[in-house]
Structure 1
Amino acid sequence: MANSEGDARLQTTKDGPSLAVIGCGYWGSKHIRVSCDIRDARMSMAVDPRPDRLEYIRSQYPSVAVSRDIGAVLNNPSIDGVIVATPVETHFELARAVLQAGKHALVEKPLAMTSAQCRELNAIAEQSKRVLMVGHTFEYHPAVGVMRQMIQSGSLGELYYIDSRRLNLGLYRQDANVLWDLAPHDLSIIFCLLEEVPQTIGAWGCAHVLPNVEDVVYAKMGFKSGPTAHVHVSWLDPVKVRQITIVGSDAMLVFDDVQPSEKVRVYQKRFRPRIDGDSYADFQSAYHHGDVHIPAISSSEPLKLEVLDFVNAIMTGERPRADAMHGLRVVEALEEASVCLRLKQKHRSNGKEQRIFRRRNMPAGGPEIAVA
């Protein structure tokens, strides 16, 4: 039943799309804040079943109409784009309803709970010619752009490996484990940097507090181009860590997102062994310790850049950077890593040999998924 709050008069812009947000929690409120600051669009409505969240939005953003009824958004012809910032298990149903209502959709990460759901959403968006985008905020982070440029330019040399750590004390969830909660960030960054998906994925983890809900997970990925990538995510760590290390043959790079400034440091450090004779008996260490370079990084807010890309895609028809296919590749990796976690639990109990899994929809001889 429609809530009277949803009958509030909506103000729309003639020059750009009118936006709405479904879900006014942590991410939803941030989307409202940055959307209200975008000149070429207007944040028109916020929907949430919790009266206290709507009261907060009303007090902070008086121009934004609020409602407890999703129909107030879906049935409103003046609303062009909808940002879905709700619990992950609701993403598919809500995104599908938004697209079927003829509206463009930006869905917080992960795009859905299964790759099949991601494909269905993408098919609906393609058929209806609507924008479907996923909230991979770090793909818009200026630091990630600088890192990607350095990899592409070859300034790090041959890429050896990427190590990503996202650690914190909490926040525990019962609807998803730490892999699905935190790792989408790391996976989206790594896939963006390397411009490819992994051939192999291995994962293992532990549930220390809640039964069958892993709060510490390690994952390892192998890529066709040569490098490996390691992801460590945890809800059970005393120190907040948001760090990515990239090691190449010529230089090494560290991105520390916890730092307020100078988030990226490039170390001119490397190791190149010298063998002067015909055997390793003549092996000599050759460590190089050079300068530390701190590249200039734009201070633009990644979330605002993300919403700007959504607005631009609506207005121009251009494909957004973090499109539905980017959402699909992250969910596929999460699925395969989850299979490894489940099988690893069985291996502990029955001692069966390790099995190898080929990626879904891959032909024989294609990429495989290994239980590490």
Structure 2
Amino acid sequence: MRDEKLGIAVFGAGRWGVHLVRNFLEHPNARLIAVVDTEGDRLNALAERFPLDNVKLSTDWEAVMQLQDVQGVAIATPATTHALLIQAALEQGHHVLSEKPLTLDGAESIKLCQLAEQHQRQLVIDHTYLFHPAVRQGRKTLQTGTLGELRYGYAARTHLGPVRQDVDALWDLAIHDIAIFNHWLNETPTQVQAQGTVWLQSQSPNTQFFPQGLSDLVWLKLIYPSGFQALVHLCWLNPDKQRRLCIAGSQGTLIFDELSTSPLTLQRGYLEQTDQYFIPAGQSVEALELEPAEPLRQVCGHFLSCMAQNRPSEISSGWVGAKLVQILSALTTSLNQGGQIVSVP
């Protein structure tokens, strides 16, 4: 990486934007140039929390895009604004780190990836879980073949809120688990299926996208080219908080439980047949050792490295983000069709 610090502007000073500001302020290879938010109160609160004497705070995103020292922008604004801001940043010659999802439309996401290539700028998507130590180690563990033949996967992401008013639980929560399954399996689903239940918000501001309202509960299935299938349970109306994802194989199960004191566990075991009976054998439990690291700090460092070398992200590029948007769009189609199996483009 080059010696000079890279100039960064953060767009959005909400919950996630605050974390981006903190990480770029602390990173030795970054210089925070500006923070943009439409709400002045958020900017004032940010100034009270962090040393921002040399950082421009603005409600005018177009003016900040024009600042000479800005080389990259980090976007943490609502998903509906991503396409406009990303396009403007790329056309201005900036590299872009965007919060997930890339956009709410697959074709629009692909156009942004193509635009980034056209301008020879890097588009990186903040799929933070792909930089989590447990997810990184999980991928390495799977590559050793320890689980034997991979059979199926399952995940649960539930909690009591926060309840979104712009998208349903599918768009809010599913992208994390889909991203992890894709990363671990090194493939993407070709078919999907989803069913949803609406309790709280039967009316949606986007009736074309969510004609039946915003689903609070979603069950989905991912079907991969290899034949592997994964089932995911999503709900933001359940006090039983779960952040758990597993892959089961013929020799054991790999478990990523974010809420556990041992986030990544390998449970070995298989069945041996004796006469007409199947007997459990080879059972053991191993908590896998992880390197301590803040995932978002890893994301920011990765983005800065991609900027400095002007090379695409091998972990979470715009193309990875676009494929996830296509998968979510197909799941939405399935949900709106009452659970029909839908092919992913």
Residue in 2 that maps onto 1:156:
147
Residue in 1 that maps onto 2:344:
359
Equivalents in 2 of 1:272, 1:58: separation in Å?
63
| Residue 206 of structure 1 pairs with residue 221 of structure 2 | no
Equivalents in 2 of 1:313, 1:165: separation in Å?
32
Is the partner of 2:192 in helix, strand or coil? strand
Residues 150-175 of structure 1: per-residue CA shift (max 9 Å, x gap): 11110011111111111011111111
Structure with larger Rg: 1
Is the partner of 1:97 in helix, strand or coil? helix
Return the offset for 1:312.
Answer: 0.2
Higher RCO (C-alpha 8 Å, min separation 6): 2
What's the TM-score, normalizing by structure 1? 0.86
Residue in 1 that maps onto 2:338:
344
Contact 1:133 1:324 in 2 (8 A): yes
Return the offset for 1:79.
Answer: 0.4
Root-mean-square deviation (CA, aligned residues, Å) is: 1.5
Q: Kindly provide the amino acid, as one letter, of the partner of residue 333 in structure 1.
A: I
Return the offset for 1:187.
Answer: 1.0
Q: Kindly provide the amino acid, as one letter, of the partner of residue 202 in structure 1.
A: Q
Residues 284-322 of structure 1: per-residue CA shift (max 9 Å, x gap): 112125221111101101111011010000001222120
Contact 1:58 1:65 in 2 (8 A): no
Return the offset for 1:357.
Answer: 3.7
Return the offset for 1:239.
Answer: 1.8
What's the TM-score, normalizing by structure 2? 0.92
| Residue 334 of structure 1 pairs with residue 328 of structure 2 | yes
Match of 1:139 among 130, 134, 143: 130
Is the partner of 1:344 in helix, strand or coil? coil
Residues 49-106 of structure 1: per-residue CA shift (max 9 Å, x gap): 1111101111122233211110232110210000010111111111111111111111
Match of 1:40 among 5, 8, 29: 29
| Residue 60 of structure 1 pairs with residue 53 of structure 2 | no
Residue in 1 that maps onto 2:19:
30
For 1:180-329, what aligned pairs fall within 5 Å after superposition? 180-211=171-202, 212-259=213-260, 261-274=261-274, 276=275, 283-288=276-281, 290-320=283-313, 321-329=315-323
Contact 1:16 1:315 in 2 (8 A): no
Return the offset for 1:245.
Answer: 1.6
Moved over 6 A (4+): none
Contact 1:252 1:270 in 2 (8 A): no
Contact 2:331 2:342 in 1 (8 A): no
Equivalents in 2 of 1:67, 1:258: separation in Å?
37
Residue in 2 that maps onto 1:50:
39
Return the offset for 1:272.
Answer: 4.1
